[in-house]
Amino acid sequence: MKKLKIFSAVLLLSLSLAQVSAAAANEQEEISFFLNGSYLACEIAPIIEQGEILVPLRSIGEALDAGIYWDGQTKTASLKSSGWRGERELKFQSGSKTAAINGEKITLAVPMQIVNGRTMVPASAIAEGLDLAVTWDEKTQSLSLQERYRSQNGAAEIVLTPIKADKDSSYMIYHGMQVEINGEKYEYAWEWNAGVWQYIAYNPPEIYWADLNADGREEIIIRLVDGINTGTGVSLEKVHVLKPNGEEIAVQDAGEYAANLAKEKDGISVGAWVSYEVTDGELTAEVTVYEKEEPKVWLLKYGNAHGKLQVVQAERVNY
């Protein structure tokens, strides 16, 4: 775990581009654009205009499965997103330095522009409107927008951002996570493969709160699910538990525990599917097992032991 103190990514983006002139932008190399860790091929590449990076609105909307709308009478472009992000609407008007996020006005350094028939909007406005982390790499001339995930528990707030993306892959594969706990940022070497492709459904990370180690303070439980196969329902899951100070609590792997338990029983083997859940302040896991080749489910319950969360009970569940 490495504790970080960094400024807002949007602020860093603005500062790094502040000295870029329109003349330099015309001579720049083509900007590489990455969305959620993967290269986004656009019909028109992002451009730099007066120190701002403008990105194609439709390409972003299609990649995020958001609706894009155009009002020719007012020359207004809209992006409407729903789902796990909640309802979000961004509106940009051609030539105007004012945009709207869910009806609230924001000021743009550069207005929306139409370039070669494509609607181009400031990346910083997209990041603010959709709650994306934004990174600009001057050396490689690359722009990255990354979805992040939030959870509120009273006055406490968690912001989870996948980092260290495998940019050679066309899927969402990450080799690290940044967790911001009440403004303090920490990095963890957690692997996550969201694996979005034809038969694999995207499942965003889930954040829970519960006092798992009975110390009177609620821990932060982060559930990472690799892409779910829409045909079989099979997925791979990991759960990570943090103290409010960012310290990670070790969690016994449910699959390994079940496999070791199965060795002691005749005619029993363990499948690949493991599902973690936090209910009524308890951490549990369900594991598929095969009893004489017939699929069953074991429910594993966790308890605190010597500062580690270990399986303390295993029982067969009938559905």
Of residues 236 and 261, the one with the higher pLDDT is 261
Nearest to residue 205, comparing CAs of 229, 174, 246, 244? 174
Q: Which domains does the chain have, with CATH numbers?
A: 2-146 (3.30.457.10), 147-317 (no CATH)
Report the distance separating Cα 164 and Cα 10, nearest Å. Answer: 18
Which pLDDT score is estimated for 319? 57
Any idea which of 226-240, 253-267, 288-302 has the lowest mean pLDDT? 226-240
Span 298-316, average pLDDT: 92
- pLDDT score, position 270: 85
pLDDT at 238 over 70: yes
Q: Which residue, 179, 311, 183, is CA-closest to 247?
A: 179
Residue 239: the pLDDT is 95
pLDDT score recorded for residue 272: 77
How does 177-190 read in b/e, with b if 16+ C-beta sit within 10 Å?
bbbbbeeebbbbeb
Predicted pLDDT of residue 218: 94
Handedness of CA 261, 262, 264, 265 (dihedral sign): positive
Nearest CA to 14 out of 108, 131, 129 is that of 108
Q: Which long-range contacts (CB under 8 A, 24 or more apart) does 177-184 make?
A: 177/222, 177/224, 178/4, 179/220, 179/222, 179/242, 179/246, 181/156, 181/157, 181/220, 181/242, 181/244, 181/245, 181/246, 182/156, 182/157, 182/244, 184/3, 184/5, 184/246
Q: What is the mean pLDDT of residues 11-38?
A: 59
Position 302, amino acid: Y
The CA angle 208-130-2, to the nearest 5 degrees, is 50
Q: Which residue has the higher pLDDT, 123 or 290?
A: 123
Q: Which two tokens stand for residue 153?
A: 């528990």
* 174 in Cβ contact with 164 (< 8 Å): yes
Closest by CA position to 93, among listed 64, 122, 66, 67: 122
Residue-wise pLDDT tens digits, 189-210 = 999 987 655 555 678 899 999 9
User: What number is the average pLDDT over the span 81-92?
Assistant: 88
What is the rounded CA–CA span in Å between residue 262 and residue 270? 7
Report the distance separating Cα 285 and Cα 162, nearest Å.
Answer: 24
Counting residues of the chain whose pLDDT is more than 70, the rounded percentage is 86
Check residue 28 and give its pLDDT.
Answer: 57
- The pTM for the full model equals 0.81
Average confidence (pLDDT) over 71-83: 93
Label residue 263 by pLDDT band (50, 70, 90).
confident
Q: Average the pLDDT over each of 126-130, 257-261, 314-318 and give the range with the smallest value.
A: 314-318
- What's the rounded Cα separation, in Å, for the pair 91 and 93? 7
The confidence band for 166, taking pLDDT boundaries of 50, 70 and 90, is confident
Which of the four pLDDT bands, split at 50, 70 and 90, describes residue 168?
Answer: confident
Q: Please state, in angstroms and rounded to a whole number, the distance separating the CA atoms of residues 143 and 121.
A: 14
**Per-residue pLDDT for 25 more than 80?**
no
